[in-house]
Structure 1
Amino acid sequence: MKNAIIPILIIFITVTSLLYGTPEEKVSGAEYQVIPDEAIRLRILADSNDDAAQALKREVRDRVNAEITTWVESLTSIEAARILIQSRLGEIEEIVGETVADYGVKQSYQVDYGKSVKFPTKMYGSYIYPAGEYEAILITIGEGEGDNWWCVLFPPLCFLDFSNGASVAEAAETEDSKEEPEVQEQQEEEVEFFLVKLWNKLFS
Protein backbone atom coordinates (compact mmCIF):
# COMPACT_ATOMS: atom_id res chain seq x y z
CA MET A 1 0.00 0.00 0.00
CA LYS A 2 2.83 2.42 0.93
CA ASN A 3 4.53 1.75 -2.40
CA ALA A 4 1.31 2.60 -4.22
CA ILE A 5 0.69 5.88 -2.36
CA ILE A 6 3.93 7.57 -3.47
CA PRO A 7 3.31 7.39 -7.25
CA ILE A 8 -0.33 8.37 -6.70
CA LEU A 9 0.77 11.45 -4.76
CA ILE A 10 3.25 12.32 -7.50
CA ILE A 11 0.45 12.11 -10.09
CA PHE A 12 -1.81 14.20 -7.86
CA ILE A 13 0.76 16.96 -7.36
CA THR A 14 1.76 16.97 -11.02
CA VAL A 15 -1.78 17.24 -12.36
CA THR A 16 -2.68 19.90 -9.81
CA SER A 17 0.39 21.94 -10.70
CA LEU A 18 -0.30 21.70 -14.43
CA LEU A 19 -3.92 22.70 -14.07
CA TYR A 20 -3.70 25.29 -11.30
CA GLY A 21 -0.04 26.24 -10.97
CA THR A 22 2.37 25.88 -8.09
CA PRO A 23 1.54 27.18 -4.59
CA GLU A 24 3.48 30.35 -5.37
CA GLU A 25 1.16 30.94 -8.31
CA LYS A 26 -2.03 30.79 -6.24
CA VAL A 27 -4.33 33.73 -6.70
CA SER A 28 -4.51 36.38 -4.05
CA GLY A 29 -6.78 36.35 -1.00
CA ALA A 30 -9.27 38.52 -2.90
CA GLU A 31 -10.27 35.40 -4.82
CA TYR A 32 -9.36 32.46 -2.59
CA GLN A 33 -8.83 32.16 1.11
CA VAL A 34 -8.09 29.33 3.50
CA ILE A 35 -10.89 28.73 5.99
CA PRO A 36 -9.79 29.09 9.64
CA ASP A 37 -10.15 26.12 11.99
CA GLU A 38 -12.75 27.94 14.07
CA ALA A 39 -15.36 29.18 11.65
CA ILE A 40 -19.11 29.31 11.21
CA ARG A 41 -20.42 28.67 7.73
CA LEU A 42 -23.66 29.53 5.98
CA ARG A 43 -25.02 26.92 3.60
CA ILE A 44 -28.16 27.23 1.49
CA LEU A 45 -29.67 24.25 -0.33
CA ALA A 46 -32.03 24.92 -3.23
CA ASP A 47 -35.13 22.81 -3.74
CA SER A 48 -33.88 21.66 -7.16
CA ASN A 49 -31.72 22.78 -10.06
CA ASP A 50 -34.44 24.31 -12.19
CA ASP A 51 -34.09 28.02 -12.91
CA ALA A 52 -36.84 29.17 -10.54
CA ALA A 53 -35.50 27.17 -7.60
CA GLN A 54 -31.96 28.42 -8.13
CA ALA A 55 -33.17 32.02 -8.49
CA LEU A 56 -35.02 31.70 -5.17
CA LYS A 57 -31.88 30.29 -3.54
CA ARG A 58 -29.85 33.27 -4.74
CA GLU A 59 -32.44 35.73 -3.44
CA VAL A 60 -32.48 34.00 -0.05
CA ARG A 61 -28.68 34.12 -0.10
CA ASP A 62 -28.58 37.84 -0.78
CA ARG A 63 -31.13 38.81 1.85
CA VAL A 64 -29.88 36.52 4.61
CA ASN A 65 -26.24 37.34 3.94
CA ALA A 66 -26.90 41.09 3.94
CA GLU A 67 -28.54 40.85 7.36
CA ILE A 68 -26.18 38.42 9.11
CA THR A 69 -23.05 40.19 7.87
CA THR A 70 -24.05 43.28 9.83
CA TRP A 71 -24.42 41.15 12.97
CA VAL A 72 -20.99 39.56 12.94
CA GLU A 73 -18.78 42.22 11.36
CA SER A 74 -17.75 43.72 14.70
CA LEU A 75 -17.45 40.45 16.65
CA THR A 76 -13.98 39.30 17.63
CA SER A 77 -14.64 35.85 19.12
CA ILE A 78 -16.41 32.76 17.84
CA GLU A 79 -18.10 32.32 21.24
CA ALA A 80 -19.82 35.71 20.86
CA ALA A 81 -20.78 34.82 17.28
CA ARG A 82 -22.36 31.55 18.43
CA ILE A 83 -24.43 33.25 21.11
CA LEU A 84 -25.60 35.97 18.75
CA ILE A 85 -26.52 33.60 15.91
CA GLN A 86 -28.35 31.21 18.24
CA SER A 87 -30.39 34.08 19.69
CA ARG A 88 -31.40 35.42 16.27
CA LEU A 89 -32.23 32.25 14.33
CA GLY A 90 -35.87 33.31 14.41
CA GLU A 91 -35.01 36.46 12.46
CA ILE A 92 -33.20 34.42 9.81
CA GLU A 93 -36.24 32.18 9.50
CA GLU A 94 -38.45 35.25 9.05
CA ILE A 95 -36.22 36.57 6.27
CA VAL A 96 -36.37 33.24 4.45
CA GLY A 97 -40.15 33.08 4.85
CA GLU A 98 -40.61 36.63 3.55
CA THR A 99 -38.38 35.91 0.57
CA VAL A 100 -40.33 32.78 -0.33
CA ALA A 101 -43.61 34.68 0.04
CA ASP A 102 -42.34 37.52 -2.18
CA TYR A 103 -41.69 34.95 -4.89
CA GLY A 104 -45.34 33.92 -4.70
CA VAL A 105 -44.60 30.21 -4.27
CA LYS A 106 -45.78 27.71 -1.70
CA GLN A 107 -42.43 26.35 -0.64
CA SER A 108 -41.37 24.76 2.62
CA TYR A 109 -38.11 25.81 4.23
CA GLN A 110 -36.06 25.02 7.31
CA VAL A 111 -33.34 26.89 9.21
CA ASP A 112 -30.96 24.93 11.42
CA TYR A 113 -27.76 25.73 13.28
CA GLY A 114 -25.29 23.22 14.61
CA LYS A 115 -21.80 21.76 14.50
CA SER A 116 -22.66 18.72 12.40
CA VAL A 117 -23.72 20.18 9.06
CA LYS A 118 -22.39 17.93 6.31
CA PHE A 119 -20.29 19.39 3.48
CA PRO A 120 -18.97 17.44 0.48
CA THR A 121 -15.37 17.67 -0.72
CA LYS A 122 -14.88 20.69 -2.94
CA MET A 123 -11.85 21.82 -4.89
CA TYR A 124 -11.54 25.30 -6.33
CA GLY A 125 -8.36 26.69 -7.76
CA SER A 126 -5.44 25.31 -5.77
CA TYR A 127 -7.46 24.66 -2.63
CA ILE A 128 -9.26 21.55 -1.47
CA TYR A 129 -12.01 21.98 1.10
CA PRO A 130 -12.35 18.48 2.59
CA ALA A 131 -15.68 16.81 3.19
CA GLY A 132 -16.82 16.70 6.76
CA GLU A 133 -19.20 18.00 9.36
CA TYR A 134 -18.80 21.68 10.12
CA GLU A 135 -20.45 24.29 12.30
CA ALA A 136 -22.93 26.12 10.12
CA ILE A 137 -26.31 27.69 9.61
CA LEU A 138 -28.12 25.43 7.16
CA ILE A 139 -31.05 26.79 5.18
CA THR A 140 -32.94 24.10 3.30
CA ILE A 141 -35.51 25.19 0.73
CA GLY A 142 -38.08 22.55 -0.20
CA GLU A 143 -36.45 19.17 -0.73
CA GLY A 144 -32.95 20.64 -0.66
CA GLU A 145 -31.89 18.56 -3.65
CA GLY A 146 -30.51 21.39 -5.79
CA ASP A 147 -27.04 22.91 -5.97
CA ASN A 148 -25.96 24.63 -2.79
CA TRP A 149 -24.27 27.93 -2.03
CA TRP A 150 -22.04 28.48 0.98
CA CYS A 151 -19.67 30.94 2.53
CA VAL A 152 -17.86 31.52 5.82
CA LEU A 153 -20.04 33.63 8.05
CA PHE A 154 -17.58 34.05 10.91
CA PRO A 155 -14.95 35.34 10.61
CA PRO A 156 -16.79 37.47 8.03
CA LEU A 157 -15.79 36.01 4.66
CA CYS A 158 -19.16 35.96 2.94
CA PHE A 159 -17.86 38.39 0.35
CA LEU A 160 -16.19 35.21 -0.93
CA ASP A 161 -18.32 32.60 -2.66
CA PHE A 162 -16.54 29.38 -1.72
CA SER A 163 -18.98 27.49 -3.94
CA ASN A 164 -17.31 29.10 -6.95
CA GLY A 165 -13.95 29.99 -5.46
CA ALA A 166 -14.30 33.68 -6.30
CA SER A 167 -15.65 36.79 -4.65
CA VAL A 168 -19.42 37.18 -4.95
CA ALA A 169 -19.03 40.67 -6.38
CA GLU A 170 -16.52 39.50 -8.98
CA ALA A 171 -18.73 36.58 -9.95
CA ALA A 172 -21.71 38.91 -10.45
CA GLU A 173 -19.69 41.34 -12.56
CA THR A 174 -18.26 38.67 -14.86
CA GLU A 175 -21.21 36.29 -15.08
CA ASP A 176 -22.54 37.78 -18.31
CA SER A 177 -19.30 39.02 -19.85
CA LYS A 178 -16.96 36.10 -19.20
CA GLU A 179 -17.46 33.09 -21.43
CA GLU A 180 -15.30 29.99 -20.92
CA PRO A 181 -14.82 27.58 -23.85
CA GLU A 182 -17.03 24.55 -23.25
CA VAL A 183 -14.29 22.07 -24.08
CA GLN A 184 -11.84 23.60 -21.61
CA GLU A 185 -14.50 23.77 -18.92
CA GLN A 186 -15.37 20.11 -19.43
CA GLN A 187 -11.72 19.09 -19.25
CA GLU A 188 -11.21 21.01 -16.02
CA GLU A 189 -14.30 19.45 -14.49
CA GLU A 190 -13.07 15.97 -15.42
CA VAL A 191 -9.64 16.62 -13.90
CA GLU A 192 -11.19 18.07 -10.75
CA PHE A 193 -13.46 15.03 -10.45
CA PHE A 194 -10.43 12.74 -10.77
CA LEU A 195 -8.47 14.67 -8.14
CA VAL A 196 -11.35 14.76 -5.66
CA LYS A 197 -11.85 11.01 -6.06
CA LEU A 198 -8.13 10.48 -5.54
CA TRP A 199 -8.16 12.69 -2.45
CA ASN A 200 -11.09 10.78 -0.95
CA LYS A 201 -9.45 7.44 -1.75
CA LEU A 202 -6.18 8.41 -0.06
CA PHE A 203 -7.58 10.01 3.06
CA SER A 204 -10.95 8.36 3.66
Structure 2
Amino acid sequence: MNRRVKLYIIMVLSILILSWETQQMLPVEAGDQHFIPEESIRLRILANSNAPLDQTVKRNIRDAVNTQITTWVEHLQDVDDAREIIGANMADLNEIVAGELEAAGSNEPFSVELRETAFPTKLYGSRLYPAGDYEAVVVTLGDGKGDNWWCVLFPPLCFLDFSNSDAKAHEAEGENSTGEDDAEEVQVSFFIVDVFTNLWDKITS
Protein backbone atom coordinates (compact mmCIF):
# COMPACT_ATOMS: atom_id res chain seq x y z
CA MET A 1 0.00 0.00 0.00
CA ASN A 2 1.62 3.27 -1.10
CA ARG A 3 1.83 6.41 1.02
CA ARG A 4 -0.84 8.30 -0.95
CA VAL A 5 -3.43 5.57 -0.35
CA LYS A 6 -2.60 5.52 3.36
CA LEU A 7 -3.07 9.27 3.65
CA TYR A 8 -6.36 9.07 1.72
CA ILE A 9 -7.69 6.41 4.11
CA ILE A 10 -6.74 8.51 7.14
CA MET A 11 -8.39 11.61 5.65
CA VAL A 12 -11.65 9.79 4.92
CA LEU A 13 -11.73 8.29 8.40
CA SER A 14 -11.12 11.69 10.00
CA ILE A 15 -14.06 13.20 8.12
CA LEU A 16 -16.35 10.33 9.16
CA ILE A 17 -15.33 10.54 12.81
CA LEU A 18 -15.66 14.32 12.97
CA SER A 19 -19.09 14.13 11.36
CA TRP A 20 -20.22 11.55 13.91
CA GLU A 21 -18.92 13.62 16.83
CA THR A 22 -20.71 16.74 15.55
CA GLN A 23 -24.03 14.92 15.32
CA GLN A 24 -23.78 13.84 18.95
CA MET A 25 -23.78 17.42 20.25
CA LEU A 26 -26.74 19.44 19.03
CA PRO A 27 -27.74 23.00 19.93
CA VAL A 28 -31.01 23.22 21.80
CA GLU A 29 -33.89 24.48 19.67
CA ALA A 30 -37.35 25.84 20.41
CA GLY A 31 -39.82 23.03 20.85
CA ASP A 32 -37.26 20.83 22.58
CA GLN A 33 -38.44 19.83 26.07
CA HIS A 34 -35.06 20.99 27.41
CA PHE A 35 -35.18 24.32 25.57
CA ILE A 36 -34.23 27.37 27.65
CA PRO A 37 -35.75 30.53 26.13
CA GLU A 38 -33.47 33.53 25.64
CA GLU A 39 -35.66 35.47 28.08
CA SER A 40 -35.43 33.31 31.16
CA ILE A 41 -34.38 33.59 34.79
CA ARG A 42 -32.07 31.01 36.28
CA LEU A 43 -31.23 29.99 39.81
CA ARG A 44 -27.63 29.57 40.84
CA ILE A 45 -26.46 28.56 44.31
CA LEU A 46 -22.78 28.62 45.24
CA ALA A 47 -21.99 26.51 48.29
CA ASN A 48 -19.53 27.68 50.89
CA SER A 49 -17.30 24.65 50.30
CA ASN A 50 -17.44 20.99 49.33
CA ALA A 51 -17.73 19.85 52.93
CA PRO A 52 -20.73 17.49 53.36
CA LEU A 53 -22.58 19.93 55.62
CA ASP A 54 -22.11 22.84 53.22
CA GLN A 55 -23.35 20.73 50.31
CA THR A 56 -26.38 19.58 52.31
CA VAL A 57 -27.21 23.19 53.18
CA LYS A 58 -26.88 24.11 49.50
CA ARG A 59 -29.38 21.43 48.49
CA ASN A 60 -31.83 22.40 51.23
CA ILE A 61 -31.69 26.04 50.16
CA ARG A 62 -32.07 24.98 46.53
CA ASP A 63 -35.27 23.11 47.30
CA ALA A 64 -36.74 25.85 49.49
CA VAL A 65 -35.95 28.73 47.12
CA ASN A 66 -37.12 26.84 44.05
CA THR A 67 -40.38 25.82 45.72
CA GLN A 68 -41.12 29.38 46.77
CA ILE A 69 -40.29 31.02 43.45
CA THR A 70 -42.22 28.38 41.51
CA THR A 71 -45.39 29.37 43.40
CA TRP A 72 -44.80 32.93 42.25
CA VAL A 73 -44.04 32.37 38.58
CA GLU A 74 -45.61 29.05 37.50
CA HIS A 75 -48.66 30.74 35.96
CA LEU A 76 -46.82 33.72 34.46
CA GLN A 77 -46.17 34.05 30.73
CA ASP A 78 -43.92 37.11 30.61
CA VAL A 79 -40.35 37.31 31.89
CA ASP A 80 -40.86 40.95 32.91
CA ASP A 81 -43.66 39.89 35.25
CA ALA A 82 -41.48 37.14 36.68
CA ARG A 83 -38.59 39.55 37.18
CA GLU A 84 -40.86 42.06 38.90
CA ILE A 85 -42.39 39.60 41.35
CA ILE A 86 -39.02 38.01 42.19
CA GLY A 87 -37.43 41.42 42.67
CA ALA A 88 -40.28 42.59 44.89
CA ASN A 89 -39.88 39.54 47.14
CA MET A 90 -36.14 39.38 47.63
CA ALA A 91 -36.66 39.92 51.36
CA ASP A 92 -38.62 36.65 51.48
CA LEU A 93 -35.81 34.82 49.71
CA ASN A 94 -33.31 36.21 52.19
CA GLU A 95 -35.50 34.94 55.02
CA ILE A 96 -35.67 31.49 53.43
CA VAL A 97 -31.89 31.27 53.11
CA ALA A 98 -31.36 32.59 56.64
CA GLY A 99 -33.87 30.06 57.98
CA GLU A 100 -32.19 27.12 56.28
CA LEU A 101 -28.78 28.19 57.54
CA GLU A 102 -30.11 28.57 61.07
CA ALA A 103 -31.76 25.14 60.89
CA ALA A 104 -28.38 23.68 59.92
CA GLY A 105 -26.64 25.47 62.78
CA SER A 106 -24.64 27.62 60.40
CA ASN A 107 -23.94 31.31 60.89
CA GLU A 108 -22.03 31.84 57.66
CA PRO A 109 -22.76 35.04 55.72
CA PHE A 110 -24.74 34.89 52.50
CA SER A 111 -26.10 37.05 49.71
CA VAL A 112 -29.14 36.76 47.44
CA GLU A 113 -29.09 38.80 44.24
CA LEU A 114 -31.06 39.04 41.01
CA ARG A 115 -28.48 39.89 38.38
CA GLU A 116 -26.65 38.74 35.28
CA THR A 117 -23.92 36.23 35.94
CA ALA A 118 -21.57 34.15 33.81
CA PHE A 119 -22.49 30.54 33.05
CA PRO A 120 -20.19 28.00 31.41
CA THR A 121 -21.12 25.95 28.38
CA LYS A 122 -23.34 23.06 29.43
CA LEU A 123 -23.89 19.74 27.71
CA TYR A 124 -27.17 18.23 28.93
CA GLY A 125 -27.46 14.82 27.33
CA SER A 126 -26.77 15.62 23.67
CA ARG A 127 -28.00 19.22 23.94
CA LEU A 128 -25.51 22.06 24.07
CA TYR A 129 -26.17 25.28 25.99
CA PRO A 130 -23.71 28.05 25.09
CA ALA A 131 -21.70 29.95 27.68
CA GLY A 132 -22.73 33.52 28.38
CA ASP A 133 -24.07 36.03 30.87
CA TYR A 134 -27.61 35.15 31.95
CA GLU A 135 -30.06 36.69 34.39
CA ALA A 136 -30.29 34.65 37.57
CA VAL A 137 -31.13 34.61 41.23
CA VAL A 138 -27.63 34.09 42.63
CA VAL A 139 -27.32 32.76 46.16
CA THR A 140 -23.77 32.85 47.49
CA LEU A 141 -23.14 31.00 50.75
CA GLY A 142 -20.07 31.90 52.79
CA ASP A 143 -16.99 31.90 50.56
CA GLY A 144 -18.98 30.52 47.61
CA LYS A 145 -16.13 28.18 46.69
CA GLY A 146 -17.95 24.86 46.77
CA ASP A 147 -19.73 22.99 44.00
CA ASN A 148 -22.56 25.11 42.69
CA TRP A 149 -25.98 24.14 41.38
CA TRP A 150 -28.22 25.77 38.80
CA CYS A 151 -31.52 25.38 37.03
CA VAL A 152 -34.11 27.57 35.29
CA LEU A 153 -36.71 29.28 37.47
CA PHE A 154 -38.66 30.93 34.68
CA PRO A 155 -40.03 29.24 32.77
CA PRO A 156 -40.03 26.60 35.53
CA LEU A 157 -37.46 24.00 34.45
CA CYS A 158 -35.87 23.13 37.77
CA PHE A 159 -37.00 19.55 37.33
CA LEU A 160 -34.00 19.41 34.97
CA ASP A 161 -30.79 19.37 36.99
CA PHE A 162 -28.42 20.94 34.50
CA SER A 163 -25.64 20.90 37.10
CA ASN A 164 -25.47 17.12 36.84
CA SER A 165 -24.72 17.22 33.12
CA ASP A 166 -21.36 17.11 31.44
CA ALA A 167 -19.94 20.58 30.99
CA LYS A 168 -16.95 22.63 30.04
CA ALA A 169 -16.13 26.23 30.84
CA HIS A 170 -15.31 28.42 27.85
CA GLU A 171 -14.97 31.70 29.70
CA ALA A 172 -13.79 32.74 33.14
CA GLU A 173 -16.56 33.10 35.68
CA GLY A 174 -17.54 36.54 36.85
CA GLU A 175 -16.97 35.43 40.44
CA ASN A 176 -13.97 33.62 41.87
CA SER A 177 -15.91 30.42 42.42
CA THR A 178 -14.22 27.05 42.33
CA GLY A 179 -15.46 23.52 42.81
CA GLU A 180 -17.97 22.26 40.30
CA ASP A 181 -17.15 24.86 37.65
CA ASP A 182 -13.49 23.87 37.86
CA ALA A 183 -14.48 20.22 37.75
CA GLU A 184 -16.66 20.99 34.76
CA GLU A 185 -13.63 21.99 32.68
CA VAL A 186 -13.44 18.72 30.82
CA GLN A 187 -10.12 17.87 29.23
CA VAL A 188 -9.96 17.83 25.46
CA SER A 189 -10.48 14.32 24.16
CA PHE A 190 -7.67 12.77 22.15
CA PHE A 191 -9.96 10.06 20.84
CA ILE A 192 -9.37 10.89 17.18
CA VAL A 193 -5.62 11.14 17.65
CA ASP A 194 -5.59 7.76 19.36
CA VAL A 195 -7.61 6.20 16.57
CA PHE A 196 -5.29 7.57 13.92
CA THR A 197 -2.20 6.51 15.86
CA ASN A 198 -3.44 2.94 16.21
CA LEU A 199 -4.57 2.87 12.60
CA TRP A 200 -1.23 4.20 11.36
CA ASP A 201 0.66 1.63 13.42
CA LYS A 202 -1.40 -1.15 11.84
CA ILE A 203 -0.95 0.21 8.31
CA THR A 204 2.76 0.72 8.60
CA SER A 205 3.45 -2.50 10.50
- Which TM-score band applies after superposition, normalised by the shorter structure? 0.5 to 0.7
Partner deviation per Cα, 1:164-185 (whole Å, 9 max, x = no partner): 24xxxxxxxxxxxxxxxxxxxx
Report if aligned partners of 1:69, 1:156 keep a CA contact under 8 Å in 2: yes
Q: Hey, what does 1:126 align to over in structure 2? A: 126
Using a 3 Å threshold, how does the CA distance of structure 1 residues 160 and 11 change in structure 2: closer, same or farther? same
- TM-score (norm: length of structure 1): 0.68
Q: Hey, what does 2:188 align to over in structure 1? A: 194
**Mapping of 1:33-48 within 5 angstroms?**
33-48=34-49
Partner deviation per Cα, 1:138-175 (whole Å, 9 max, x = no partner): 0000111111111111111112111124xxxxxxxxxx
- Secondary structure at 1:68's aligned position in 2? helix
Q: Hey, what does 1:144 align to over in structure 2? A: 144
Q: Hey, what does 2:101 align to over in structure 1? A: 100
Q: How many residues align?
A: 157
Name whichever structure is richer in helix by fraction.
Answer: 1
Q: Which has the higher Rg, Structure 1 or Structure 2?
A: 2
Letter in 2 for 1:15: E
**Offset, 1:127:** 1.5
- Secondary structure at 1:194's aligned position in 2? coil
For structure 1, list consecutive stretches of 5 or more residues without a partner in the other structure.
1-6, 166-188, 196-204
Q: Hey, what does 2:114 align to over in structure 1? A: 113
Percent of aligned pairs sharing the same letter: 47
Using a 3 Å threshold, how does the CA distance of structure 1 residues 88 and 125 change in structure 2: closer, same or farther? same
**Offset, 1:190:** 10
Report if aligned partners of 1:45, 1:144 keep a CA contact under 8 Å in 2: yes
- Secondary structure at 2:137's aligned position in 1? strand
**Offset, 1:86:** 0.6
Using a 3 Å threshold, how does the CA distance of structure 1 residues 131 and 99 change in structure 2: closer, same or farther? same
Report if aligned partners of 1:113, 1:136 keep a CA contact under 8 Å in 2: yes
Q: Deviating runs (4+, > 6 A) in structure 1?
A: 7-10
Report if aligned partners of 2:25, 2:127 keep a CA contact under 8 Å in 1: no
For structure 2, list consecutive stretches of 5 or more residues without a partner in the other structure.
1-12, 166-182, 190-205
